[in-house]
A and B are shown apart, each in its own frame.
Chain A
């Protein structure tokens, strides 16, 4: 499969220099690595600059409401579980507006891949703090600086025993592509937090800022099966930021546990006939 076939031939509304361009490339590369036919993939997105991805890649797309990305993706997967379902959106959508859906879909453990564009800022609404913004990060909406503790997506996901937790840097297209392929291959709920500079709004967490801090877990002999180790990497406070697979566990996914989904895909089940309806009504007689 060529990378090009996954890229929609449309004008991109993203800013020049935005990390989204790299993530789009990584998504297409990842799908090419997997060799998935475009029509067997559904990309579910929410609202925000990141969420425009549904229009910029050539797969099936559900560009839903802000914050509801993972909820809609869960519905798609339950109805047609043989399709590859990827949910992708920004940090505001997935961690702010949609936080509850993230929590409970980690628990559901559907075989979904969630790609979070984490640039610590709201781009499309012009620069407000996102849930991952650092304490003291000043914006027009947070003139005293963000007072809140930043949300730590990796620690949160490990705490909830998510099936697959990883992080990458948008500037590393190949590494991100490989992680996406790995997350899709993994059977269960996978979260990839993609660190991403925002050249327009975020003057703190710049490309250079990330470059100074990120390191590959693979270089340090991390054991992704060790949940305690994963949690301590996710919560380290020495300023270094990990990339790679933080945590991975095996176990049956929602579909494997659900008695109705063992055989036919839900949406492929035949419509009832008058005979089936007649036996349905017997209990009232």
Chain B
């Protein structure tokens, strides 16, 4: 089984609500799923689509074609009808215009919602009930999920679902109610994974200005702030956000800022301040197509080189781009730990596709994110005769104190400073401090995990797909499909991007028949970074930059003869 149910409508019609309910039902029924969301930058009207892919085996990403189209309005029906595969079905209101056929299920949803339920918006739930009948998903599971999600409003919605099911008929699929998989899998979005990773790492302070798609992390954390003891403050602008975060971090609260490329552009002076005052801060950047405002609600991978180079002056940083929601949890927690340990800024690059998509994931392991303090304790400070915040050490890392925990004063300065933190124009001190700050990168390099190679083993004679971040799923699926047909393909995927590990890259270039770099941008930013760090040139590129996520088909079409 591998089916895509695409629910489409205008903003305000509840596409996301019905989509989430069906996704959760599939999850409760024991299936793997991937649910991609796409929407226009508006509150009412426009396009809203929820593409739910369900399978009984592992799923790596989204598909662009449709098995069952559930259309809540005419415009979206017209737009998405061409994506319906041969043998695919359509569920829509009886009043929609489209060529009749065996595979069109017309439901008097609007009429029933008004006459039977006296609630016109419930048409969406009637269509959901019809869709559930078509794919043969468990009514019981569906009712369970609706009761959980809608509470007091559940009864009316259950009636709506039943009305839809009554007027529909079974299609050629069955999504069976499989074994109970509770405890074996989790259902989450990339945005929630970043937020949960932050809380698991001991994040206490979040200051951010809303910007799609970074806002998903802001709202996840704001909703859980009281329960987990965080202050989540909406800043007056992004410049405030990072400077507030640095103030809180200086005082000892682990701090996060979440934004997108444009907001991060406003923060880069603050990023440089973090480098100079050696104060940890984590910035989550949900990428979307740019330049400038770009396509606010779409996806892309355009900020890699920006993040690697952002900020004036020279200072170490840690840049990661998790490949999926599971890794987003662990890498976010790691970013906090690395930022604290080396007293540097850490940047987490996701994108709209990763942030908003619901996926089934192996259960997240709470023992894999141990939060460790890297601060001097009051007792340790008490025994010190004198405290220098920027003491010069072989590793470049100075033991860090925060103000108010002992009688030792803590001074940090955005000007060049001496070991105490005092402003200086002594050029010898300047040289020593520059080298001290940059020396931290040596330790940082030892923290880096290996890039992911698949299939395991030698890349000898294979075409190797090189990628980073959320394109992992599309590339993995393409490799599996191509190899299933006798191809010789492999992948080398990076989710820790700066500093960049080069050993595996050199090996891949050495062994591979050819290297193809696959990215969600127009200029090949990873390929440029690889060339900068190794001198190795990628010969072939597959790039997508229309605002939609890369899919396995994009790759297969490019490489198939």
Cβ contact of B183, chosen from A274, A280, A285, cutoff 8 A: A285
* B413 in the interface (beta carbon within 8 A): yes
In the complex, the answer to whether B186 meets A62 with C-beta atoms within 8 Å is no
Q: Are A79 and B247 in contact (CB under 8 A)?
A: yes
- Residues of chain B contacted by A55 (CB below 8 angstroms): 411, 413, 422-423
A79 and B248 contact, Cβ closer than 8 Å, known pairs A39-B404, A260-B231, A271-B371 = yes
Q: Is the CB of B413 within 8 A of A61?
A: yes
Give Cα A54 to B421, complex, Å: 10
Q: Is the CB of B202 within 8 A of A267?
A: no
Inter-subunit contact B247/A272 (CB<8 Å): no
Question: Does A75 interact with chain B (Cβ within 8 Å)?
Answer: yes
How far apart sit A281 and B236, CA to CA, in the bound complex (Å)? 31
Q: Does B455 contact A (CB under 8 A)?
A: no
Considering the complex, give the chain A residue whose CB is closest to the CB of B189.
Answer: A284
Contact of A80 among B196, B200, B403 (CB under 8 A): B403
- The A6-50 residues at the B interface (CB cut-off 8 A) are 10, 37-40, 42, 44, 47
Interface string of A221-233 (1 = CB under 8 A from B): 0000000000000
- Interface pair B409/A266, CB less than 8 Å apart: no
Query: Knowing A63-B414, A75-B246 touch, does A80 contact B252 (C-beta < 8 A)?
Result: yes
- Are the C-beta atoms of A78 and B403 separated by less than 8 Å? no
Determine if B186 and A285 form an interchain contact, defined as CB atoms under 8 angstroms apart. yes
Interface size of A by Cβ–Cβ distance < 8 Å? 57
In the complex, A249 has a CB within 8 A of chain B: no
- Do residues A75 and B247 form an inter-chain contact, with CB atoms below 8 A? yes
- Closest chain A CB from B489 CB (angstroms): 32
Q: Is residue A258 contacting chain B, with contact meaning CB distance below 8 A?
A: yes
Q: Is A186 an interface residue (CB 8 A)?
A: no
Q: Is B269 an interface residue (CB 8 A)?
A: yes
* A107 to B, closest residue via Cβ: B236
CB contact under 8 A between A64 and B404, given known A55-B422, A75-B207, A101-B240: no
Q: With an 8 A cutoff between CB atoms, is B121 at the interface?
A: no
Q: Report A261-276 CB contacts with B as 1/0, cut-off 8 Å.
A: 1001011110110111
CB within 8 A of B231: which of A261, A274, A275, A284? A261
Q: How far is the CB of A275 from chain B (nearest CB, A)?
A: 8
A40-B404, A63-B415, A82-B404 are contacts. A76–B200 as well, Cβ < 8 Å?
Answer: no
> Does the CB pair B250–A281 fall under 8 Å?
no
Chain B proximity mask over A168-208: 1 for CB below 8 Å, otherwise 0: 00000000000000000000000000000000000000000
Interface status of B255 (Cβ within 8 A of chain A): yes
Residue of B nearest to A73 (CB): B247
- A58 with B252: in contact, given A75-B205, A284-B364 (CB under 8 Å)? no
Bound-complex Cα distance A64 to B411 (A): 11
Residue B408 at the chain A interface, CB threshold 8 Å = yes
A76 lies within 8 A of B411 (CB): no
B199, B236, B370, B423: the one within 8 Å of A101 (CB): B236
Q: How far is the CB of A10 from chain B (nearest CB, A)?
A: 7
| CB-contacts of B427-447 with A (<8 A) | none
- Chain B: CB-nearest residue to A40: B404
Which one of B155-163, B222-230, B392-400 contacts A?
B222-230
How far is B423's CA from A62's CA once the two chains are assembled, in angstroms? 11
Contact check, B251 vs A76: say whether CB atoms are below 8 A apart: yes
A235 to B20, CA, bound (A): 57
Q: A83-B403, A280-B228 are in contact. Are A71 and B199 (CB under 8 A)?
A: no
Distance between Cα atoms of A63 and B413 in the complex (Å) = 5
Contact call A267/B270, Cβ cutoff below 8 A:
no
Is the CB of B194 closer than 8 A to any CB of chain A? no
Across the interface, do A76 and B247 meet the contact criterion of CB distance under 8 Å?
yes
Is A260 in contact with B247, judged by CB distance below 8 angstroms? no
Interface string of B227-253 (1 = CB under 8 A from A): 011110101110110011111111111
Contact of B169 with A by CB under 8 A: no
Out of A38, A80, A276, A284, name the residue touching B409 (CB < 8 Å): A38
B383 within 8 A of A: no
Report A24 CB to chain B, min CB distance, Å.
15
A8 CB, nearest partner CB in chain B, Å: 8
| Cα separation A41 to B205 with both chains bound (whole Å) | 21
Does A59 touch B at the CB level, under 8 Å? Answer: yes
Indicate whether A60 reaches chain B with its CB closer than 8 angstroms: yes
**A80 contacts B404, C-beta separation under 8 Å:** yes
CA distance A260 to B226 in the complex (A): 6
- Given A63-B414, A65-B414, A75-B244: A39 and B239 interface contact (C-beta under 8 Å): no
Residues of A within 8 A of B183 (CB): 285
Ordered by A's residue number, 21 sampled pairs between the chains whose C-beta atoms are within 8 Å are A39-B404, A39-B407, A42-B251, A60-B410, A61-B412, A62-B412, A63-B412, A63-B413, A65-B269, A71-B239, A72-B243, A75-B245, A78-B248, A79-B252, A101-B240, A104-B240, A260-B230, A266-B204, A272-B228, A284-B187, A284-B196
Q: Which 10 A-B pairs have the closest CB atoms?
A: A75-B247, A267-B252, A277-B366, A72-B247, A79-B251, A104-B236, A79-B253, A60-B403, A75-B244, A284-B186
| B→A interface (CB under 8 Å) | 182-183, 186-188, 192, 196, 199-202, 204-205, 207, 224-226, 228-231, 233, 235-237, 239-240, 243-253, 255, 269-270, 273, 277, 361, 363-364, 366-367, 369-373, 402-404, 406-415, 421-423
Given contacts A76-B250, A284-B188, 16 further A-B contacts (CB under 8 A): A37-B407, A55-B423, A62-B250, A63-B412, A75-B255, A76-B247, A78-B247, A104-B236, A260-B230, A266-B253, A267-B204, A275-B366, A277-B199, A281-B364, A281-B366, A285-B186
